[in-house]
Chain A
Amino acid sequence: MNPATLKTHEVKTVAPLQNFATAHASSMRVAIVEDDPSQAELLTHWLELAGHHCHHFDRGELLIRSLDQESFDVLVLDWNLPDISGVDVLKRIRNSSQSALPILFVTARNREDDVVTALRQGADDYMVKPVRRLELLARLEAIARRGKHRSEQPEIIELDVYKVDTQTRTVMRKERQVELTAKDFDLSVLFLRNVGRLLSRGHIRESVWGPNAVVTSRTLDTHVSRIRNKLGLTPEHGWRLAAVYRYGYRLEQLDAAAQRLAATNER
């Protein structure tokens, strides 16, 4: 770009950031793998203004390691990283226990074969930098919606003997209301919306108590134990709210055989 082509005087305005949080989007836990600190800060700023919680990794290996103990709703992944390439990160995730994690590639590489490679290796979507704010949010929400574990978030959740109304914040079990504290309600909704999904302790803490709350493991375990008892999330009722060592919890709905087996094992 020739300096001579620059205009000698110009006034322009960077578009305002407020008022764009999408009404239908619920908060997501977003992992961002990006080695450029400015780009990472900008993406984080945009996503947090839209109500999402962001976790930044400046190396691919750091994210891969974190997935042993953490879960996320969606991943924003750069291609050019200092340690391993974004495509390698993508391949390793797709071959791991977190293979269903929705992944959006955000990279300055704009060649057609780059886009094709990323999509064929399992990326859910691909954006070329510089990214536009609203498009980024819309694409993230779209791949999260399409994700295996995350669908539209209805106000009423009906599942087996449970009926949850997120507007009135009530939980019915076998048509009888279950008395829950505010945190226990939020925890119940989180698990009932993510049946079968392994949720890390960090993910649970952030979703229920917020990103800055200090919550001990013991406190979290106490709340989980309480909703397990109050909602009857136990094998004899066809459910299991299982602790996964050094990771978190998973709510599982048992089929008849698994229910019998679990009941036998617990005797």
Chain B
Amino acid sequence: MSTLTGSTHKQSTLASALPALTVMVEKDLEVLVQRFLARKRDDLDRARAALGTGDFETIRRIGHDLKGAGEGFGFPELSAFGAALERAAVLHNERALGDELAAVDQFLSRLRITFK
């Protein structure tokens, strides 16, 4: 049994104050899930940078991919965040995008996955 935590990523103050979100995942998905979460952390950084430059199309694509893949890996919350990001990006709603990106950050930071 091994455990993956969100601690490799810089945690927000809010997230670090909240309890961990513990998820059990089958061992044979370990490599895939680790790669998936690492990519989503990278996507989060890219989306923040894109928000800073007003590049809504990049955020829309990131949201679209997150919506499509999150639930398949066992994280329906990420699919929901992805859908919300995609919607907010289409509407160029910067405030909503900031909130959604913070929510994704918080979710990833709280994740504690046990593979067995």
**Does A associate with B in a complex?**
yes
Give residues in A with beta carbon < 8 Å to B. 1-3, 6-18, 36-39, 41-42, 45, 80, 107-108, 129-133
What are the 9 closest A-B residue pairs judged by CB atoms, nearest first?
A14-B74, A130-B71, A129-B68, A108-B68, A3-B103, A13-B24, A38-B36, A36-B65, A39-B69
Give residues in B with beta carbon < 8 Å to A. 14, 18-26, 28-29, 32, 35-36, 39-40, 61, 64-65, 67-74, 76-77, 79-81, 84, 99-100, 102-103, 106-107
Q: How far is the CB of A28 from chain B (nearest CB, A)?
A: 20
Inter-subunit contact A38/B39 (CB<8 Å)? yes
Q: How far is the CB of A154 from chain B (nearest CB, A)?
A: 33
Q: Which residue of B lies closest to A107 (CB)?
A: B68
List A contacts of B18 (CB < 8 A): 8
Inter-subunit contact B29/A14 (CB<8 Å)? yes
Q: How far is the CB of A16 from chain B (nearest CB, A)?
A: 5
List B contacts of A1 (CB < 8 A): 77, 80-81, 84, 100, 103
List A contacts of B81 (CB < 8 A): 1
A3-B102, A3-B106, A11-B24 as given contacts; A36 in contact with B68, CB under 8 Å: yes
Q: Which of B71, B72, B77, B102 has its CB near the most chain A CB atoms (within 10 A)?
A: B72
Q: Other CB < 8 Å A-B pairs besides A13-B25, A80-B64, 17 of them?
A: A1-B84, A1-B103, A10-B22, A11-B23, A14-B29, A14-B73, A16-B26, A17-B29, A36-B68, A37-B35, A37-B39, A39-B65, A108-B68, A129-B69, A130-B68, A130-B72, A132-B72
